[in-house]
Structure 1
Amino acid sequence: MNVPAFNELLDFSGQSVVVTGAAQGIGAAIALRFAEAGARVLIHYRSGEKEALRLALSIRKDGGEASTMAAELSDAGDVRKLMARAVTDYGAIDVLVNNAGSFPNAAFLDMTYAEWSEMLRSNLDSAFLCSQAAARHMKSAGSGAIVNIASIAASSPGPEHSHYNSAKAAVVMLTRSAAQELGAYGIRVNAVSPGAVGRPGIEDQWPEGVERWQKRAPLQRLGQPEDVADACLFLASPAARWVSGHNLVVDGGIMAASIY
């Protein structure tokens, strides 16, 4: 394998990237970052059509290429259509970022089976179906990169999130399992596990949590969506060409903080 030049390490010019759950927040930051790196981006959304269209317009105004598509990611037929759209629009799927998911609270003893199932559907089933569908296209091309958005909750469970903690732990193992099987086709599969990431209003909604996080985290701040986006960019890039099956923790050092 030829070693890429330094200026090619984060260059996605001409590549096709699918980002799920990309209408806002972390997903939007990921889509924007790849577009800035030259990629042609398919922005998936479930309900945020206005936000997705606004993001695509912003990318195009800056000289990039972007399109949007709604899909229900727990529906295998919808997922196949989403991936086919990327191939139709851009000729291939070079990168898939599985960002779509949900994050509701539910106490363990009060949680319904429907709540449990919905969490796995939105976080785990979607990642499996999208990865499988994209990998079939990538296999034909002989290369590709998949990045799954997991969470530090996969290894450090938060209270009233047993369904979320379990789903994200499964996403990490899905990442490692897929990497094991897909490497023979030149497909790399990795995960990013973010810590607490800032969003509008979080200081008002969770003031004690924000204060506690900032005091305990070695880097003393919440993450920003771009922190997660840049990790995805790295893992999908030639700079990480010999990295597969890895779960990259992006958390400001909170998992390294002393428990004493």
Structure 2
Amino acid sequence: MSKELAGKVAIVTGAGRNIGRAIALTLAEAGAAILVGARSNRAEADAVAREIEASGEKALVHTGDVVDPKSVQAMAEATLNAFGRIDILVNNAALRREKSFAEMDYAEWRAILDVTLDGAFHCTKACLAALRQSGSGRIVNIGGLSAHTGAGNRAHVVTAKAGIVGFTRALATELAADGITVNCVVPGLISTPLPKDQPEPAHHVTHQTRTGERGKPEDVAAAVRFLCGPGARYITGQAIHANGGAYFSG
């Protein structure tokens, strides 16, 4: 495949595992240098960086919470110090938990919104000046299927991911004059390893794909790669669904 992102620099949050890892590796495959962002698991992030470097591309690791503006600013500064620019920001960091609304307390509600929405806010603010200087900046936010279909026991997650779609459209409108496109990729029914104490999300049982199979993290990453490349220069403000037909957007 072509190295359509050669010379570009991408920050991917939540890149230590699953979809975030696949995005980081796929953008590196396209030629981009990658800042591998992770909240705390340095070993996972380092492993992703080693994979990228083994492929011949450049990688840097930053661990820190996207909820903390100082940590996010340090991430952006580390990227600029190492690579001299930021062209792509993928806001992937998120928490996905399940609890009935009746039993949910405010701290549990706030924890999800803090990471998914506030984290995207902090990361975008920290990278905005560099993205403007890029001349062809790309922001890709990672959404969620349940934000479009609804789901029980996920009021906090559904709300946060629905907010990401609104955030995408607002930024696409505001940043178009700077040559920055802003889009949202919405994964659905993607097979990823879960912690031993975490059951499969309940809404996965109620939704079925038209293709008859679950997706892979690489299927989501392929959509992100396209949106970051020159072929997507005329696409902005969109929610692109990668879900095997489990949900039809309109």
Cα 1:152–1:107 shift into 2, 3 Å: same
Cα 1:152–1:77 shift into 2, 3 Å: same
CA-to-partner distance for each residue in 1:99-118, whole Å, 9 max, x for gaps?
Answer: 00010111010000000000
Is residue 26 of structure 1 aligned with residue 31 of structure 2? no
User: d(CA) in 2 for partners of 1:108 and 1:238?
Assistant: 43
Task: State the 4+ residue runs in structure 1 displaced beyond 3 angstroms.
Answer: 204-213
User: d(CA) in 2 for partners of 1:61 and 1:256?
Assistant: 39
CA-to-partner distance for each residue in 1:191-248, whole Å, 9 max, x for gaps?
Answer: 001112102369x9449876654xx310111111001100100111111100110110
Residue in structure 1 matched with residue 61 of structure 2 by the alignment: 68
Q: 1:124 aligns with which of 106, 113, 117?
A: 117
Residue in structure 2 matched with residue 4 of structure 1 by the alignment: none
Q: Which amino acid aligns with 2:95?
A: S
Q: Which amino acid aligns with 2:210?
A: P
Is residue 87 of structure 1 aligned with residue 80 of structure 2? yes
Structure 2 matches for 1:104-115, cutoff 5 A? 104-115=97-108
User: d(CA) in 2 for partners of 1:211 and 1:105?
Assistant: 14
CA-to-partner distance for each residue in 1:14-69, whole Å, 9 max, x for gaps?
Answer: 11010000001100000000111111001001111101111111211221111101
Is residue 240 of structure 1 aligned with residue 232 of structure 2? yes
User: d(CA) in 2 for partners of 1:62 and 1:70?
Assistant: 22
Secondary structure of 1:97 counterpart: strand
User: d(CA) in 1 for partners of 2:141 and 2:201?
Assistant: 29
Secondary structure of 2:189 counterpart: coil
Is the CA contact 2:19–2:220 (under 8 Å) kept in the aligned structure 1? yes
Is residue 188 of structure 1 aligned with residue 181 of structure 2? yes
Is the CA contact 1:210–1:222 (under 8 Å) kept in the aligned structure 2? no
Q: 1:15 aligns with which of 8, 32, 51?
A: 8
Is the CA contact 2:186–2:240 (under 8 Å) kept in the aligned structure 1? yes
Q: What TM-score, normalized to structure 2?
A: 0.93
User: d(CA) in 2 for partners of 1:159 and 1:122?
Assistant: 20
Structure 2 matches for 1:1-260, cutoff 5 A? 11-200=4-193, 205-206=199-200, 213=207, 216-256=208-248
CA RMSD of aligned residues (A): 2.1
User: d(CA) in 1 for partners of 2:153 and 2:36?
Assistant: 31
Higher Cα Rg, which structure = 1
Q: What TM-score, normalized to structure 1?
A: 0.90
Structure 1 segments unaligned to the other structure (5+ residues)? 1-6
Is the CA contact 2:151–2:203 (under 8 Å) kept in the aligned structure 1? no
Secondary structure of 1:155 counterpart: helix
